[in-house]
Chain A
Amino acid sequence: MFEHLLNPRSIAVIGASSDERKIGNVIVKNLIYFGYGGRIYPVNPKNEIIYGHKTYPSLDSIEDEIDISIITLPATMVPDAVESCVKKNVKYVIAIAGGFSETGERGAELERMILDKIRGTNTRVIGPNTVGIYVPRSNVSTALTLPERTALPGDGSIAFISQSGALGLLTMDTIAEFGTGISAFINLGNRIDLSENELIKYFEDDEKTRSIVLYIENFKNGRDFFNVAKETVMKKPIVVLKSGRTSEGARAASLHTGALASNDAVTDGALAQAGIIRAYSETELMDYGKVLAYQKPLYGDRIAIVTTAGGLGVITADYLVSTEKGVGMKLAVISDENKKRIRDTIVPFGSAENPIDLTADGSTEQYSRVLEILNSERNVDGIIVYALFQTAKVDETLIDVLEDNMKGKPMVVGILGSKMGKRMILEAEKRGIPAFPSMERTVKAIKVLYMRGRYLKRRYEDGEQGS
């Protein structure tokens, strides 16, 4: 459905300009900078050459099919530009400018004009008031980012749909630090046409996408979203960061239930019911999207912790087990037989009890052996491994061990530290190992795997009952 949005063969830029201060200039420059390999058509009534591309006086003077048309003109000129796109049978229009319904009734009227123009046609509109799309696989970025100030993530498996452009770009800039990639980013903007519901359906079948994360301020159609998401989660995990948690909706209700039903309480219930993981910050949004994309679901809550630093083991155990300041899971009880095997592997002053502490004497070989034992342990459902590189006997090949262990029980890795630690997270990332730079983030990540497993199990059981 959105194949040519994510893999456009040709892009027209309406309002392209040779003036470097204009949006219509930056858009063309960025298409070239990010290495877009398709055909670029700057549209501009003046006959100019922009970054080596000859301009066209109008869309209909282009003798080619146009997959995406980026409109960089101000709001009042957008309806006419959309009309020209409809005539040209352009598949997707990205309307960058603000100044629409977010500013008042006159802007809302412009949006209605655009909708009138595209009604009954094949042309779809993204936005308006959007930074557009960023798709690493086809090197398309319509965002007005300055490469010397911000980074964009590389190719990956997380599809990112955001109602806000700035939040989307900042979040992507942040995850780029640890090398996390995305399969596509789409900024819905004022969302007069293209909505999250259609995109979720599309990403469900998109081969590159393994998890879908959304930043949403308000749902376009809540019930549709619920129904679509409830179906999609059976194939791909969905994470939602929903803002406006504390604004109590004005509800005209005379009964008690209505007074208790803040918008957020209902949202919370609906998300849980549909099997959507809820995030409360941009960090959680991307961490959860990442762990769900990289790792299989966890069907039990008994966790083994492996560390070379005892302090990390006990803090993690607290955070894992506590229901107040923690995630309410269980510390696995290792069988006597395997405890003995672990004891034979590690130094005498280490701990074969969970959390398993290899101590500063721990080596890559010991990690490898202990992981092998834990994978054979019946009482362990999932594993948290701290890969800590501050001690001499642990070397870079630990990443190979962890990569190998991706075949085993669901595992989440914590890697702390800013020098070798950070380098190793980047390395883990390249190999699709879910690694996180703090204990809290590591524990929350494993909890999310469990939430997903629990939900899937429930739905499978429902299905069995039904048949």
Chain B
Amino acid sequence: MENRVLEEWEIKEMLSRYGIRVPRGIVVESLPEKLELEFPVVLKVSDPRIIHKSDVGGVILNIKNYPDLKEKFMEMKRRFPDSKFLIESMERQGVEVIIGVIKDRTFGEAIMFGLGGIFTELYRDVSFRLIPIDEYDAREMIDEIKARKIFEGFRNIKANKDSVVDLLLKVSRLVTDMGGKIDQLDLNPVIVREDGAVVVDAKMVIIP
């Protein structure tokens, strides 16, 4: 059997069960009359066949009101007629980080931490530890990246380091609980603010 790509909402539900914060959202095939979400919202195509949604124009950010959403939804529906859609409250800005999991050929399951956005790839400023990790490992992972100062009040940026430590530990536990079934996991971006860390986008590949 081939590896399976989970849908974003499935992953986020799983994350929620571990006490990991995700944006409020709903999965729909058609736009409901009333939306119990705070604007602005984000509209995303939700389809296991599409891993990299933004590359195919499957993500629209910062939709400010219902009429606007209605228009954008119609447009999306035209382009992805067979897909479902995820509507989520848009998160306030913060420091963007990436947390990921891979299966290393030599060492097995490993967890990664790094600064998110374009700089992740540009500088490869990331750190790894083998799963499971403990709190000390998690703190070291953050302290090891070159951009660590961002979590120490650089230019008055407020990003809650403890919430990242907590998130890393929860991801490690989730992976352990899955008993080797996770082939790859990307939480990217995770938005870190003073009030904690929220996983805004998540991708997961599962071994059946």
Q: Which of B104, B124, B184 has the most CB of A within 10 A?
A: B104
What is the size, in residues, of chain A's interface with B at 8 Å between Cβ atoms? 28
> How many contacts A-B (CB < 8 Å)?
102
Contact A257 B184 (CB under 8 A): yes
Query: B: which residues have CB within 8 A of A?
Result: 51, 98, 100-102, 104-108, 110, 112, 114, 120-121, 124, 126-130, 133-134, 136-137, 140-141, 144, 184-186, 188, 203, 205
Residues of B within 8 A of A270 (CB): 107, 110, 128-130
Contact B104 A257 (CB under 8 A): no
Residues of B within 8 A of A462 (CB): 134, 136
Cβ contacts A to B, 26 pairs, < 8 Å: A218-B106, A219-B106, A222-B106, A226-B107, A253-B184, A255-B51, A255-B100, A256-B203, A257-B98, A257-B100, A257-B102, A257-B184, A257-B185, A260-B120, A261-B104, A265-B127, A266-B106, A266-B128, A268-B127, A268-B128, A269-B110, A269-B127, A270-B128, A272-B129, A272-B140, A458-B136
Contact B205 A255 (CB under 8 A): yes
Measured between alpha carbons, how far is A219 from B105 in the docked complex, in Å? 10
> Per-residue 0/1 for A261-277: is the Cβ within 8 Å of any B Cβ (1 yes, 0 no)?
11101111110110000
Measured between alpha carbons, how far is A226 from B109 in the docked complex, in Å? 12
Given contacts A222-B104, A223-B106, A268-B127, 19 further A-B contacts (CB under 8 A): A222-B105, A223-B107, A254-B51, A255-B100, A255-B184, A255-B185, A255-B203, A257-B112, A260-B112, A265-B112, A266-B128, A266-B130, A267-B106, A269-B128, A269-B141, A270-B129, A273-B137, A458-B136, A462-B136
A96-152 at interface with B (beta carbon < 8 Å): none
Measured between alpha carbons, how far is A266 from B131 in the docked complex, in Å? 11
Asked if A258 is at the interface of the complex by the 8 Å CB criterion, the answer is yes
Residues of A within 8 A of B101 (CB): 257
Contact A254 B184 (CB under 8 A): yes
Contact B126 A260 (CB under 8 A): yes
Q: Which B-chain residue is minimally distant from A274 (CB atoms)? A: B130
Measured between alpha carbons, how far is A256 from B124 in the docked complex, in Å? 11
Measured between alpha carbons, how far is A272 from B139 in the docked complex, in Å? 13
Contact B112 A261 (CB under 8 A): yes
- Nearest Cβ distance between residue A277 and chain B, in whole angstroms? 15
- Nearest Cβ distance between residue A220 and chain B, in whole angstroms? 10
The answer, among B108, B114, B184, B188, for a CB contact under 8 Å with A222, is: B108
Asked if A45 is at the interface of the complex by the 8 Å CB criterion, the answer is no
Q: Closest 8 interchain pairs by CB?
A: A257-B100, A269-B128, A222-B106, A222-B107, A255-B186, A255-B184, A266-B104, A269-B129
Residues of B within 8 A of A273 (CB): 129-130, 133, 137
- Nearest Cβ distance between residue A13 and chain B, in whole angstroms? 36
Residues of A within 8 A of B141 (CB): 269
Asked if A249 is at the interface of the complex by the 8 Å CB criterion, the answer is yes
Residues of A within 8 A of B137 (CB): 273
- Nearest Cβ distance between residue B118 and chain A, in whole angstroms? 12
Q: Which A-chain residue is minimally distant from B98 (CB atoms)? A: A256
Q: Which A-chain residue is minimally distant from B52 (CB atoms)? A: A254
Measured between alpha carbons, how far is A226 from B184 in the docked complex, in Å? 21
Measured between alpha carbons, how far is A67 from B64 in the docked complex, in Å? 81
Measured between alpha carbons, how far is A190 from B144 in the docked complex, in Å? 35
Q: Which A-chain residue is minimally distant from B134 (CB atoms)? A: A462
- Nearest Cβ distance between residue B56 and chain A, in whole angstroms? 14
The answer, among A218, A222, A258, for a CB contact under 8 Å with B102, is: A258
